[in-house]
């Protein structure tokens, strides 16, 4: 059983948007290409709360993607309490969900991805996204 402090209740009540409780499995993607397993505990149009091992250090900015969804979020850490990390969503991108090509065409596609820096994110028309 978790106990909320008065600060937690006050902080929750000053949010601009309502947060949707989730338990989505996600991956934090650091700019060096490494990934950290995480879960999204709640999310709104402007922020999210992630669960990350306490011992794991995070940079001020990083990206995360939710497994099974077609978007990725560029975020900035707003706060951290133990294994809970609050992030402000700075940008939402739609993942390229092209179907896998036959094996003969796979190698040129991989080379093309390396040339473009591996960026498979397209900018959505709006920063606000329906989760």
The CATH number linked to 12 is 2.40.10.220
Domain that holds residue 98: 6-123
- The set of residues, in sequence order, having a beta carbon less than 8 Å from that of 39 and lying 6+ positions away, is 23, 24, 25, 26, 50, 51
Bigger pLDDT: 65 vs 100: 65
Establish if 130 belongs to a structural domain: no
Output the average pLDDT for the chain.
Answer: 75
Work out the angle at residue 10's Cα, subtended by the Cα atoms of residues 9 and 14, and round it to the nearest 5 degrees.
115
Question: pTM value?
Answer: 0.62
Structural domains counted in the chain:
1
Residue 44 domain-assigned (yes or no): yes
Query: What does the block give as tokens for 92?
Result: 């939402």
pLDDT band of 65, cuts 50, 70, 90? very high
Q: Which tens digits make up the pLDDT trace of 13-59?
A: 555 678 899 999 999 999 898 999 999 999 999 999 999 999 999 99
């Amino acid at each position: 059983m978790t106990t909320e402090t008065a600060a937690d209740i006050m902080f929750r009540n000053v949010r601009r948007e309502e947060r949707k409780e989730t338990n989505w499995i996600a991956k934090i993607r650091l700019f060096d290409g490494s990934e950290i397993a995480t879960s999204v505990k709640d999310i709104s149009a402007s922020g999210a709360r992630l669960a990350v091992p306490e011992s794991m250090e995070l940079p001020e900015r990083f990206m995360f993607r939710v497994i099974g969804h077609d978007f990725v979020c560029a975020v900035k850490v707003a706060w951290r309490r133990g294994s809970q990390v609050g992030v402000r969503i700075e940008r939402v991108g739609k993942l390229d969900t092209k179907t896998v090509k036959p094996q003969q065409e796979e190698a040129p596609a991989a080379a093309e991805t390396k040339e473009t820096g591996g960026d498979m994110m397209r900018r959505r028309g709006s920063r606000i996204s329906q989760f």
